[in-house]
Amino acid sequence: MDLDLRKDFKSLSKHVQDRVRDWPVYVNSGPGADEDPIALITFGFQMDQSGWAALVFDTRRKAAFDGTWQSWIEPNAVELRQWEQAFRGAHQKPGKVSITLQDGSQASLDAEDPTADLANCFGNLLRDVLIAARDAGVLKGLPVTKDCQIGVEDHDGQFGWIGYFDGRIVEEDENDPKVIMRRVLEKVGKLSPDKQIDYWFEQLEQLAAGKPCDVSKLIRVEEFVLDNLGKFGKAVVLRMLEYVSRWASKSEWKGEGKNIKEMPHQGVVLSVLWKAEKIGIKKNAAAEDMLCEIVRKSAKANARRTLWGAFPWHAARALHNQFKGYPEAKTNSRTNKLVNAEKFMTPGGTDS
């Protein structure tokens, strides 16, 4: 399926013009009193159960971006059946849906779960429609309050954006995870695919080093970075393993006994290894070589330690699960040492 959002941009812009032209004097199919000025304009939308967008004028004196618009969908909705079709197609047949964005570029959809990407496609389209209408003076015919705001929200909370009618920027909490993720994705979306990959690996490097970066304030930070990196599929698998290999020679622990502490890179590096295996490494000879290298490096890094880190076992387990010739990885229950490490150090392995 091919969906061209440039066509939807035109039709929805026309819809906004019609709504402004038909603005009633005393009757408003939205929250608040009919005779009061508009305090909030919301472009709501849905894409999963059905496809539509609803432009709702809120005249409440204390109007807030609180979802009240959802009680006024029916009288304001315009059908967008193609959005639902794109949503279903992207989930049922990954890679078979092509979306051209309003600027002419192609959207990138996560093959595993394209929901967030689709919400961004449609939400950003509606945002651009509102901004274009505002900047072109289309909305000037509406009676609005001094601090009137305009916003976009997905019916299921997958997308949200808000700004001022007069163009001012709404102050945002820079520590809000949603704000952080949106700003990062907007920044990355302007980059070429290769630069996007570089960006996500730079974030991983900073995280592993325990240094602040664009995403370090997120709670599930590794998941966020790797979900976005994973959109590039097998094209990034070897680079992921190279990343793991670089860190494999560093100890996962600092100190011994009661003073032992986990190093910042441990959780990050393990997450990258697991993600690479999930994307797919089977029958990839280069990946097999890299995993053997990771076992060699991490076993050497742990050789003098009482308590071993997790890298050797997880790399060995991946070799056992994904390639022929490797035995089950065995560890000492007290020290966590990979006791049969030598069987995972050479490509091809040995089950004996």
Domain that holds residue 308: 182-344
Of the three residues 171, 202, 223, the one that is the final residue of a domain is 171
> Does residue 177 belong to any structural domain of this protein?
no
pLDDT for res 351 = 62
Is 106 found in the same domain as 149? yes
- Domain count of the chain? 2
> Does residue 9 belong to any structural domain of this protein?
yes
d(CA 319, CA 133): 57
> Does residue 176 belong to any structural domain of this protein?
no
Is 203 found in the same domain as 141? no
Is 151 found in the same domain as 193? no
Is 198 found in the same domain as 147? no
What pTM was estimated for this model as a whole? 0.62
Is 107 found in the same domain as 196? no
Is 55 found in the same domain as 36? yes
> Does residue 350 belong to any structural domain of this protein?
no
Q: How many CB atoms lie within 10 A of CB 332?
A: 11
E-strand stretches of 211-343: 253-254, 261-262
Contact predicate 299/312, CB 8 Å: yes
Residue 310 token pair: 């997790």
Of the three residues 141, 171, 201, the one that is the final residue of a domain is 171
Is 271 found in the same domain as 152? no
Local confidence pLDDT in tens for the 352 residues of the chain:
899 999 999 999 999 999 998 887 667 899 998 889 999 999 999 999 899 999 999 999 899 888 899 999 999 999 999 999 999 999 999 889 999 999 999 998 888 889 989 999 999 999 999 999 999 999 988 999 999 999 999 998 889 898 999 887 667 677 888 788 888 988 888 888 999 999 999 999 999 999 999 999 998 899 999 999 998 999 999 999 999 999 999 999 998 888 899 999 999 999 999 999 999 999 999 999 999 999 999 999 999 999 999 999 999 999 999 999 999 999 999 999 999 999 999 998 766 5
> Does residue 349 belong to any structural domain of this protein?
no
